[in-house]
Structures are given as C-alpha cells and as structure tokens.
A = this chain, B = another copy of it.
Amino acid sequence: MPQSGYKQFCPVAMAAEVLCTRWTMVLLRELIAGSTRFNDLRRGVPKMSPTLLSQRLKELEGAGIVERKAAREGNGVLEYRLTAAGRDLRPVVEGFGFWGQKWVESQPSLNNLDPSLLMWDMRRNLNPSPLPKRRTVIQFQYPELPASKRDWWLVVEPDGDVDLCWSHPGFEVDLYVTTDLRTMTAIWMGLTTVAKERERIDLDGNNGIARTMQTWLGLSPFAAERKRVG
C-alpha cells in the first residue's frame, strides 16, 4: 500500500492498516480455516506469489497475529499458527465472507474458476459421516479442462481424514462425478444444488453415495448466506 499508514488514531484505521493490504484477508481466511504450513497456505491462496506470502506472514507475525514455530514432529519444519489476536479475527473474516456472499455479484468471480482451489476447499469441508465406514474414493472429472487439471480424487479414510490427489491413488473408485467446473463451483458456493443441476452432472458408481452427494459434499462456510444481488 503506497505511503502506507493512515496516521489516524481511530481503531478502524489502526486495524485497516494491518488487515487491508493486498491478499491479507484472503490469507487470514486460509489460516483460520486451519492451514499451517507454507505450501498448504500457497494452495489456499494460489495466485499469491511466494515472495509476497512470505512477506505477509512476517508482517502478520510482527503484528502479533501469527506465530511461527517448528512443528513438533517433522524435521524442523515451520508452522504458522494464529495467536489469540489472530483467532480473534475469525468473526471479522467471517463478516467479510458473509457480506461478500450476500452482496457481491458472483457472476464475475464465477469466471475465475480454479479446480485446484475448489478441490482443496472441498477436501477441507467434506462431511464423511454419510459415507460408508470404509475407505471411499470419489473421482471428479472436468472434461472441459486440459488433461493436467481434469481429474481429481478425494480419498476419504475410515477415520474421516480426507486426502486430495491429482493422480490416481490406486484404490478402486466408488463414484465418478463428471460435470463442468462452473457448475461444481456454484454448488459448492451454495448458489445452487446438486438436485437443481442434476442434468449437468453425471454420477456413475455407488448409488447410495451418489444419492447423498449433497450431504457429504461439504459446502463453503458461507453457503448458507442468501445472495441478495445478481
């Protein structure tokens, strides 16, 4: 932010000085969602350059929002964790999200799709409880995309852990979901539903899993907020 700092004693300005730099709110969303490792953060904020990510993390550390420390397991790998001040930003970030969901036109941002980011978010919010109590594999296929971004696998372990793979994990696939990225994104954002888009989605495989898709498919944390504009 050019000539940074507002030089104002108002608390709103003081907060904005820290929070309203480019990418910062989006990065915070990713931290709040639970990512702690540098490359996990990158996946959640893929358009941010590593240089800037590194710089922002330092700024957030300086502002007392994030602390970096070595992960307890792992060979000196660093983790970024929110401090109390950072956790206190959750309602602020959620405020942004719900307001954005309610009032910002979504058509333009539906032109900026990213399968990697979508699948990464889906992985996080997936709800394993309606699924069988064994390992379940779901393959997503976006035929319109180039080969390297076309196929994705969500592997749901019996303990509820979900892994995202971009090459075949080797296990048998329980359900193939074939659709276009825009439809899948719109469903995930809560702008529409599996049922409404039924004709744009091809489900092939285990019938029970197919039928309950809307329930195991976790949606965006902001999906519940009803859109008020186009």
Q: List A residues at the B interface (Cβ < 8 Å).
A: 1-2, 6-26, 29, 47, 63-64, 84-85, 88-89, 91-93, 95-104, 106, 109-110, 112-114, 117-118, 121, 185, 189, 220, 222, 225, 228-229
Question: What is the CB-to-nearest-CB distance from A109 to chain B, in angstroms, rounded to a whole number?
Answer: 4
Q: Give which listed residue, B1, B15, B85, B98, contacts A11 with CB less than 8 A.
A: B98
A129 to B201, CA, bound (A): 65
Evaluate contact between B103 and A47: CB separation under 8 angstroms. Answer: no
Find chain B residues with CB under 8 A from A8 CB.
26, 47, 109, 112, 114, 117
Smallest CB–CB gap between A89 and chain B, Å?
6
Kindly list chain B residues whose C-beta atoms are within 8 Å of the C-beta of A88.
Answer: 99, 102-103
Does B93 lie within 8 Å of A92, measured CB to CB? no
A-B contact pairs, 29 of them (CB 8 A): A8-B109, A9-B109, A9-B110, A9-B117, A9-B185, A11-B99, A11-B225, A12-B25, A12-B26, A12-B100, A12-B222, A13-B29, A13-B100, A14-B100, A14-B101, A15-B96, A16-B100, A17-B104, A18-B104, A20-B21, A20-B22, A20-B24, A84-B228, A85-B228, A88-B99, A88-B102, A92-B92, A92-B95, A92-B99
Q: Which residues of B contact A84 (CB under 8 A)?
A: 228
The 7 closest A-B pairs by CB, nearest first: A15-B100, A11-B100, A7-B112, A14-B100, A20-B20, A11-B101, A14-B104
A95 vs B99: C-alpha distance in the bound complex, in angstroms?
Answer: 13
Which residues in B have their C-beta under 8 angstroms from that of A106? 9, 14
